[in-house]
């Protein structure tokens, strides 16, 4: 596990974008699971503005680690956010974009998207293997859409499950732990002082530390990188 700490959220965006470009250039086909959230917005903006023509987007295939069960035009849609901040600004084939259909019945969509991953993402040990999974982390220690109150979803046999937000009750479709931990590289993008307590607990756990979903991110490749700003890393 690596923790890469930068002074500001903007610098996190710059450094991660350069990392993304370098990783994409190594691959003939680069399969990536995207995250929603405020930090990816800045990352996507920077990636499009500064590396939009440096990356061969025909080799990049985008999927989502989770999606809210809303229309793709809804402001809460992770897909809509990615379109606004990245996809609309780059030349990427439509066939390279595999969105979770948040407007569909959640249970049926979890099954359908599991099948999408099986058919389109390279397989290793019987499990789809992403080249890169991008994750965020909530103030409560959740990641993807596996929340602490449903932490057992992490170990589900399925590729995708339906999760429920603990406060709003909103349904979400999320990939599970076996997909995340089978990835070649997993990168957390975490910024802001509100995340500092959980970052410290997860990266420097003590004997009595609570287990959070983000604690369970342990890729078998051992390639786990935390991209942090100083506010999020102030407890390290």
pLDDT at position 206: 85
Q: Taking the model in full, what pTM does it have?
A: 0.97
pLDDT at position 208: 78
Sequence-distant (6+) residues with CB within 8 A of 3 are 203, 225, 226, 228, 233, 236
Kindly state the average pLDDT of the residues 191-197: 96
- Measured N-to-C along each axis, helices 38-51 and 9-25 cross at an angle, to the nearest 10 degrees, of 60
209 pLDDT exceeds 80?
no
Return the number of other C-beta atoms located less than 10 Å from residue 218's C-beta: 13
Sheet holding 171-175, edge to edge: 66-68, 171-175, 160-164
Three-state DSSP state, 54? coil
d(CA 35, CA 174): 11
Q: Considering only CA atoms, which of 95, 78, 68 is closest in space to residue 35?
A: 78
pLDDT in tens, 83-125: 999 999 999 999 999 999 999 999 999 999 999 999 999 999 9
pLDDT in tens, 37-95: 889 999 999 999 999 999 999 999 999 999 999 999 999 999 999 999 999 999 999 99
Residue 86, both tokens: 């990245």
Q: What is the largest CA-CA distance in the chain?
A: 49
pLDDT in tens, 151-165: 999 999 999 999 999
Return the number of other C-beta atoms located less than 10 Å from residue 204's C-beta: 11
Sequence-distant (6+) residues with CB within 8 A of 187 are 16, 19, 132, 133, 134, 135, 224, 225, 226, 227
Three-state DSSP state, 154? helix
């Amino acid at each position: 596990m690596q923790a890469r700490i930068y002074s500001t959220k903007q610098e996190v965006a710059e450094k991660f974008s350069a990392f993304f470009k370098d990783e994409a250039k190594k691959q003939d086909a680069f399969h990536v699971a995207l995250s929603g959230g405020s930090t990816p917005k800045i990352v996507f903006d920077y990636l499009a503005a500064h590396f939009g023509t440096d990356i061969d987007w025909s080799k990049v295939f985008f999927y989502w680690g989770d999606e809210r069960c809303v229309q793709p035009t809804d402001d809460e849609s992770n897909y809509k956010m990615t379109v606004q901040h990245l996809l609309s600004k780059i030349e990427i084939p439509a066939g390279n974009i595999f969105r979770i259909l948040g407007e569909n019945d959640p249970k049926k969509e979890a099954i359908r998207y599991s099948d999408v991953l099986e058919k389109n993402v390279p397989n290793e040990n019987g499990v789809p293997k992403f080249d890169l999974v991008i994750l965020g982390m909530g103030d409560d220690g959740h990641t993807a859409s596996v929340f602490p109150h449903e932490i057992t979803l992490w170990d589900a046999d399925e590729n995708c499950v339906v999760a429920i937000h603990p406060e709003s009750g909103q349904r979400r479709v999320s990939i599970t732990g076996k997909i995340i931990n089978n990835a070649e590289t997993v990168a957390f993008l975490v910024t802001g002082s509100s995340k500092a307590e959980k970052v410290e607990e997860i990266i420097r756990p003590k004997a009595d530390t609570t287990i959070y979903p983000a604690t369970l991110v342990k890729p078998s490749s051992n390639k786990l990188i935390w991209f942090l700003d100083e506010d999020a890393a102030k407890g390290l």
